[in-house]
Structure formats: C-alpha cells, structure tokens
Amino acid sequence: MLRPQETPSRERVSLNGLWAFALDPGDRGRAEEWWRGPLPDASEMPVPASFNDVPATRDAHDHVGDVWYQRQVRVPAGWEGRRVVLRFDAAAHRAVVWWNDVEVARHEGGYTPFECDVTSLVRPGEAGRVTVVVDNRLTPASIPPGIVDVLPDGRRRQRYFHDFFNYAGLHRAVWLYATPHTYVEDITVTTSVHGTSGQVHYRASVAGGEVAEVVLRDAEGVERARAATASGTLDVPDASLWQPGHGYLYRLEVRAEGSDSYELPVGIRSVAVDGDRFLINGEPFYFRGFGKHEDNPVRGKGHDDVLMVHDFALLEWIGANSFRTSHYPYAEEVLEYADRHGIVVIDETPAVGLNFEIAHTLVPGDPPHIFAAIDDATQAAHLRAIEELVARDKNHPSVVMWSIANEPDSARPECRTYFEPLVHAARAADTSRPICFAQVQLPPAQDVMSDLFDVICLNRYNGWYIDTGDLVTAERELEAELHEWARLHGKPIIITEYGADAIPGVHSVSAGPWTEEYQVELLEAFHRAFDRVESVVGEHVWNFADFATGYGVNRVDGNKKGVFTRDRRPKAAAHALRRRWTEEKAV
Ligand code: GCB
C-alpha cells in the first residue's frame, strides 16, 4: 500500500491534531450508534498519541474495550472530480470508521495502515464527520494475543504475554488525500548489484488504466533510466549504492495513463545470506544496535518526529548501525528516516507472546498452554500481519530481513506446525529478503524450527534470568551454546536480545544485578563471547531505552534494560557501548 504523498497529481491533508474523544467502559457507543452525532461527554485527545497516559487518570491508563474519536473534516474545494481517500497509518488494535452515518472501513491489527475510498460520500468544499471506534482488546485470536478477564465487579482486566504496555488508540498519522481516478495503485521494487552497475526490478499497477512511463532519477534529479512498461528491469551503470551508513536514494517516478504520478525512493543494494555471513552489497555486515520500542512518556506509542530524530541521533552517537523493530512494525516515518540515513533494519511483525513459559512468568496464575489457546483464527491473523507488513515495507532499502515472530514456544512440535505455512507465506510475499524469528532462551537441541529460517536470531539472558549475578558462568555457557548453534546450523547468528536491568544512579563496587556497573559488565561478558564465535554477525542489546510495561512484581515502573533511560539519558552502559562500537568494533 503506497503512502500518501504530494506530487503534481496528488494532494494530502493531515488530520492530526485534537479530536473529540470518549472512553466507553460500558460498551454504550455501538448500541447507541455514537457515530450518528457528537460523542457524548467527549474530552479532547491529540492524534497521533496512545490515549492511555494523556488524560492522567487510571481509568484511561487501564481502559479495556472501545474508545471513540471524532472530528469534522473539510474536503478541500479544489478536490472536485478527484478520488478522495481517508487513511489511518495505524489504529491499535481494531477499528471501525464512519464518514457521517456511513461505515467506510474496518481493520484489525494495530501497527499497519488501512484506508477507504470516500469519494462517493464527500462533497468538496464541505465538511463531514469522521468517527472512529478503536478497540484495544487482545484476544486469543489477535496478534499479539491476550485474554480479557471479566472481574466479579464487572470490570475488565487485560492479560497479555508480552513485556511492554498495551498502549492503544490512533497513535499514528491520519490523512485525507486525493488522486485522479486513474491512479498508481502499487509499486514493488527489488534491486540487485553486478559489479559497478545496479538493477532496479520494478512492477507497478494502475487502477483503471495502464502504466504510461517509469523514470528513475538519481539524488540530484538527473534521469538515469526510463521505461514504458508496467514491469521490468532498469539498468543503472555506475550505480551509487545504498550502503549501511550511507543512505543513497534514487527516485522512481511511475506515471499512470492520464495524469497521476507517484515517486518512490529507491535504494540500490543487495542482501544475501552466504554460509554463516550476512552480506549487504556482497560485503559481510555486522549488526551493532538494539531492540527498540516505540515508547515515550505521555505519548506512549504516539509517533513524534522530535523523538524519532533524537533517537536516531543517539544511535549515531553510540555507533549503532541497525535496530530491530521489536515487537511490531514501527511508524513508516521511522523506516523512511532509516532509508535516508543508511540505518539497517530487521522488521518484525506484532507476533509476540506466543509462548507458554513466558506467559507463565508475566501472568502469574493459570495461563493457558498458548498453543492450546490459539487456533486457526490466530494463525490467520498472524498471516495477515505478515502480509500487511511486507505490503507496507517491501520497498524500504533499510529493511534487510523480516522477523516473523518474537520468542514463540519453539520447543513444541505444535509450534513448527503452526509456523511452517507462515514461513512459506513470508517467502512467497518477498523472495528478496531473508527471514528469521527471535528465539527464546532454548538450547539448540530443544528447538524444533530454526532450520526453517535463514538466520539464527537468539534472545539470551545468561547472567540475568539465568545464573543471575554470575557472569563467569554466563560467559562460559553462552559461548558454548553459540558454538553449538554454529556447528548445527552453519548459519549467521545475531544475538537479537541481551542485557540487564539497571536502575540509573544505583552503583556498587561489587557490581550486583540492577546496578549500572552490572549492566556494563554483563554486556562486556557477552561481547567477549561473541568475539570468539565466527558465526556471530550481530549484537542487538535489549533495550535501547527503558520502556513501560504492564504491572508486575519484577517490573519497577517498567522495564529498565535500556542503556538510555526512558527520557533518553545515557546510563554507564551507553558510554561503554559507545567505546566498543565506535572504537573496537567500528566496522
Ligand atoms: C525478552 C522479550 C522482551 C522482554 C525482555 C525482558 O525475551 O523478547 O520483550 O522485554 O525479554 O527484558 O525480559
């Protein structure tokens, strides 16, 4: 799905700003058809933002169920005769949208966009009422999954099996945009590199007509190739490659018969797995960076350009070259920024929490055996999540690999049965990138599905959840395990999570757990082990910054494994990583 943009034939209007807002704890809205008029007792809510922490009430923070957003939208008078589309960059986790009294869209999945053609309902120059109900419930059939309990007093309580707070709402941009009726519908680009030349393989579709022309220009706007077919290969002699650290972008203009045109940024680069190497443009690439979160005080997962640019500045400061979009697709602005700046991305679906053991730690009591609780409906939602992720992000040069899940219960045979069709679907959706999943702490002999994937991605907490406080054992066992993975699979290994919680300002000469010293020493122990195992091609520390979680006795105001605090101040570990990544392990 193409992101709205402004071209000579297209216009867009941002619908960000303050919307009328109402929590609906008693489920009245759908029964009373709140879309037919102004929301009762509405407050105001900024969009984009997660709604939870904005009103400063526990009711909003802990709300489980529907919330309502509404605003008037004026269609520009100049849009007479155009196709008009309403687009939501995300609504977590499922939404229904009305234009005045007419339902125009339904979507499930909190991190991918959806849109609806409202041309027949709108009158240019006039305003319409847009109402959106967003349901934040996680169920056994949603991705990520969860369970809603109804308590004796009638309140709902949401349980979920992942370690980040269930922020929800309209936490990304909303747009109204216009195109001609014959319009560029989709473009798919893959690239390859041969010697000094690059190839741009493209496929474009035009709704209601044909592709008229395709023109590739370089960053200076100079035309480098041209074609008049809907698909083909454009050859670029002496290509400037998209490289880690150098996000060189061409622009592919696709013109439809009639007048529409769309400009897609294109980075020419190749990605391949060769034995136990991960190659970008034929060169071995070593991932230095983090698992991150979209998480900020007050905004929750609300996208914000200030915070985004600052996070990228900190990645540069610390010497990181990559990150994983743990544990869901991030805002498209983030990937566009990574494209422009040469930051490498492992792009993950929201499939997190498909794991009984973790469910048990995070949800004390009696969680279900997760593969008994989830079923074909969950798998169908997971499949959609993969397809929507690839459809949205397939053209980003920064994205070098898909991660289709985080820490599923990969010791269980049911897990393999569940994942096999998803692996096939991911490969069918994109043949140009390797795929992986982030593996929970399990010895290679117990894992039943890593052979299905291209890269071994391991989340490891030796010295923290295992052998807590004993870094000597942690280092020895980690190294032995890494050698074993290398021996059994012969594939590249990325440690996609490792780290320790550290409370900023807590120090100790004996460097016990929770101190800043322990966090530094644990990372150093892991690094010594990585440097002794040839097949290790990457290290992503958990986490870039402290982040909000659900309530739990092992979480003090959230997860503190950040090397930056939640407000982005460096802990001692940030300085230590900066030394390693800018001096010792800079290439
Ligand atoms: C993990 C999860 C991550 C958690 C982390 C932790 O394995 O993938 O979501 O936040 O451990 O800190 O426990």
pLDDT at residue 373 in the model: 65
Q: What pLDDT score was predicted for residue 587?
A: 61
Amino acid 372: pLDDT: 61
pLDDT value, residue 376: 86
Q: Determine if ligand 1 sits within 6 Å of the CB of residue 559.
A: yes
Ligand 1 pocket check for 171: Cβ under 6 Å: no
Q: Is 510 helix (H, G, I), strand (E, B) or coil?
A: coil
Residue identifier of the C-alpha nearest atom 7 of ligand 1: 459
Whether the Cβ atoms of residue 472 and residue 523 lie closer than 8 Å to each other: no
Question: From the CA of 163, how far away is ligand 1's center (Å)?
Answer: 6
Q: CB of 542 closer than 6 A to ligand 1?
A: yes
Tell me phi and psi for residue 486, to 5 degrees. -60, -45
The CA distances from residue 428 to 174, 352, 356, 383, 424, in Å, are 30, 22, 29, 12, 6
Q: Determine the pLDDT at residue 497.
A: 98
**The predicted structure's pLDDT at residue 355:** 77
The residue nearest atom 2 of ligand 1, judged by CA position, is 163
What is the residue whose two structure tokens read 């879309």? 35
Beta carbons of 460 and 497 less than 8 angstroms apart: yes
Tell me which residue has its CA closest to atom 6 in ligand 1. 163
* pLDDT < 70 regions, the chain: 356-373, 586-587
Q: Compute the distance from residue 492 Cα to the ligand 1 centre, in Å.
A: 22
Distance, in Å, from the CA atom of 523 to the CA atom of 581, rounded to the nearest integer, reads 12
- What's residue 74's pLDDT? 97
pLDDT of the residue at 399: 98
Cα of 251 from ligand 1 centre, angstroms: 38
SS (H, E, C) 286-321: CEEEEECCCCECCCECCCCHHHHHHHHHHHHHHCCC
Full strand arrangement of the beta sheet holding 17-24 = 43-47, 17-24, 66-74, 127-135, 94-99, 102-108
Best residue among 326, 495, 497 to mutate for probing ligand 1's pocket (most ligand atoms within 8 Å of CB) is: 497
Residue ranges of alpha helices (H) inside 374-440 are 376-393, 413-429
**Cα(163)–Cα(168) distance, integer angstroms:** 15
**What are phi and psi for residue 267, nearest 5 degrees?**
-105, 125
β-pair partners for 563: none
Cβ of 497 less than 6 Å from ligand 1 = yes
ipTM field: 0.99
Alpha-carbon dihedral sign for residues 461, 366, 158, 329: positive
pTM: 0.97
- Which tokens sit at 333? 């602005």
Q: Tell me if 303 sits within 8 A of 521, measured CB to CB.
A: no
Atom of ligand 1 nearest to the CA of 440: 7
Run of H or E including 131: strand 127-135
Q: Provide CB contacts within 8 A for 531, sequence distance 6+.
A: none
- What is the model's pLDDT at position 298? 97
Both tokens of 156, joined, read 């709902």
- Annotated active-site residue in 11, 185, 388, 407: 407
Nearest Cα to Cα of residue 245 among 579, 587, 496, 531: 587
The CB density around residue 78, as the number of other CB atoms within 10 Å, is 11
Residues 6+ apart with CB under 8 A from 548: 164, 165, 167, 295, 300, 558, 559, 566
Active-site hit among 115, 348, 497, 539: 497
The predicted pLDDT at position 414 comes to: 87
C-beta of 406 in contact with ligand 1 (< 6 A): yes
What integer pLDDT is reported at residue 361 of this predicted model? 56
Give yes or no for a cis peptide into 443 (omega within 30° of 0).
Answer: no
Given a contact cutoff of 8 angstroms between Cβ atoms, the answer to whether 381 and 142 are in contact is yes
Kindly state if the Cβ of 139 falls inside 6 Å of ligand 1.
no
Contact 219, 319 (CB under 8 A): no
Give me the DSSP letters along 534-587: TTEEEEEEE-SB-B-----TT-SSSB---SB-TT--B-HHHHHHHHIIIIIT--
Cα(106) to centroid(ligand 1), Å: 31
User: Which of 436, 501, 522, 542 for a ligand 1 pocket mutation test, highest count of atoms within 8 Å of Cβ?
Assistant: 542
d(CA 69, CA 86): 15
Query: Of all atoms in ligand 1, which is nearest to the CA of residue 407?
Result: 8
Q: Please report which helix (H) or strand (E) contains residue 324, including its range.
A: strand 322-324
Please list the residues that pair with 132 across neighbouring strands. Answer: 69, 97
pLDDT (0 to 100) of residue 365: 56
Identity of residue 24: D
Q: Walk me through the domains of the chain, giving residue ranges and CATH numbers.
A: 11-179 (2.60.120.260), 183-259 (2.60.40.10), 283-584 (3.20.20.80)
163 lines ligand 1 (CB under 6 A): yes
CA of 358 to the centre of ligand 1 (A): 9
| Alpha-carbon gap, residue 128 to 134, rounded angstroms | 19
Q: Order of strands across the sheet with 231-236?
A: 183-194, 197-207, 231-236
CA of 326 to the centre of ligand 1 (A): 10
539 catalytic, yes or no? no
**In Å, what is the CA distance from 378 to each residue of 97, 144, 146, 392?**
23, 9, 11, 21
**How many angstroms does the Cα of residue 354 sit away from the middle of ligand 1?**
13
Nearest CA to ligand 1 atom 13: 163
- For position 1, what pLDDT does the model report? 87
Q: Is 407 a catalytic residue?
A: yes
